[in-house]
Amino acid sequence: MRVSVRLFHTLLLLTMAAFAYAGPLDSWQDTDARQAIVEFVEKTTQEGSPDFVPPRDRIAVFDNDGTLWAEQPVYFQLMFAIDRLRLLAEKHPARAEQEPYKTVLGGDLKKVLHESSIATILDIVTESHSGMTAAQFDRIARDWIKNARHPTKEKPFTGMVYQPMLELLEYLRAHGYKTFIASGGGRAFMRAWVEETYGIPPEQVIGSSVELEYKVIDGKPSLVRKREIGFLDDKEGKPVGIYRRIGRKPVIAFGNSDGDREMLEWTASREGPSLVGIIHHTDSAREWAYDRDSKIGKLDKALEQAGKENWLVVDMAKDWKRVFPD
């Protein structure tokens, strides 16, 4: 009986929370984008609607970099990787002459990015993200996200999430959608902060990863992060990563770059209703404006396909009242 009473109490609180939930999507302008989202969510969640989607199938996936938080001048995780290698080189000076340390220590952020091949970038990431246990990495990432600041905006990185997207996540969850991240970024890196920031628990974070190895170290069962890419959750990897994790096609997917094209196209091919959206970075005043010619977050093919297939394109400058939380 004690159980039932506690459960009743919990459910009562949840019910009150549901009633307290008001003013969804407040940071969205009253434009077509907002209306398309509201109409889609209503028609898929109202019983009796011909487009009703049962709760178990209400899956919504979001890219992270450029979709839920900013990604300029370079992916924030790359700044984490570089900070980490600089720190390691200070502690172990002999490393400074070896790659990828040499590249990192020899240039500024933009130089590292623009003059490096993808192989070098991956090398910077795997080297900085491996050689410790999963628990150790988690502490390192939590520590960085708490203390690091954006080089030009001078804010914590978690202050550079998009307020309208936070509201969209909340709005979808209030309608029974389960929200997932499907990002090219590191799964473990994101898990260190996304629950607090987006309300998305670790088991709903899909991302790239290094291989893990189970080992008992000094009698302590541990998972060691190996210097080896396990999975790249980008481009054609995104539908694969999502299906591996969820076993179903999402109903809703949002992205912002060509790296999301396959995920969006695959979601749009769902039998039954689907909503596929692109965040278009059009706002040089409040954020950044970039698409076809950007090295980071290049949006070209996916934008073309969005036009042809009627995907929702969110124009940051026009459709959002504000960009960041404060």
For residue 230, give the DSSP letter: E
Question: CB 239 → a copy of itself: shortest distance, Å?
Answer: 5
Where would I find the H helices in 130-274? 134-147, 163-174, 187-191, 194-198, 237-246, 261-268
Among 49, 269, 295, 318, binds a copy of itself (CB under 8 A): 269
CA trace torsion 292, 165, 79, 234 (10° rounding): -60
Among 69, 80, 266, 320, binds a copy of itself (CB under 8 A): 266
Name which of 163 and 305 has its Cβ closer to a copy of itself.
305
Among 43, 245, 298, 322, binds a copy of itself (CB under 8 A): 245
Binding of residue 19 to a copy of itself (CB under 8 A):
yes
| Angle (CA) 235 70 123, round 5° | 55
Name which of 243 and 324 has its Cβ closer to a copy of itself.
243
Name which of 28 and 288 has its Cβ closer to a copy of itself.
28
Question: CB 236 → a copy of itself: shortest distance, Å?
Answer: 4
Binding of residue 46 to a copy of itself (CB under 8 A):
yes
Among 48, 94, 119, 203, binds a copy of itself (CB under 8 A): 203
| Residue indicated by tokens 């790359």 | 78
Name which of 237 and 297 has its Cβ closer to a copy of itself.
237
Binding of residue 326 to a copy of itself (CB under 8 A):
no
Q: Is 307 left (phi over 0), alpha (psi -120 to 50) or beta?
A: alpha
Neighbours of 186 (CB within 10 A): 24
Token pair recorded at residue 159:
């202050």
Q: Mask 168-187, x = binds a copy of itself (CB under 8 A)?
A: ------xx--x--------x
Binding of residue 239 to a copy of itself (CB under 8 A):
yes
**Helix (H/G/I), strand (E/B), else coil: 38:** helix
Token pair recorded at residue 217:
């170290």
- The answer to whether the CB of 267 falls within 8 A of the CB of 249 is yes
| Residue indicated by tokens 């096609």 | 249
Binding of residue 14 to a copy of itself (CB under 8 A):
yes
Distance CA 109, CA 89 (A): 16
**Helix (H/G/I), strand (E/B), else coil: 106:** helix
In the region spanning residues 83 to 112, those forming contacts with a copy of itself, defined by CB under 8 A, are: none
For residue 1, give the DSSP letter: -
Q: How far apart are the first and last CA of the chain?
A: 46
Name which of 100 and 259 has its Cβ closer to a copy of itself.
259
**Contact positions toward a copy of itself, by CB under 8 A?**
2-4, 6-8, 11-12, 14-15, 18-19, 21, 45-47, 56, 134, 174-175, 178, 187-188, 191, 195, 201-203, 205, 209, 212-214, 216, 220-221, 223, 230, 236-237, 239-240, 243-248, 262, 265-266, 269
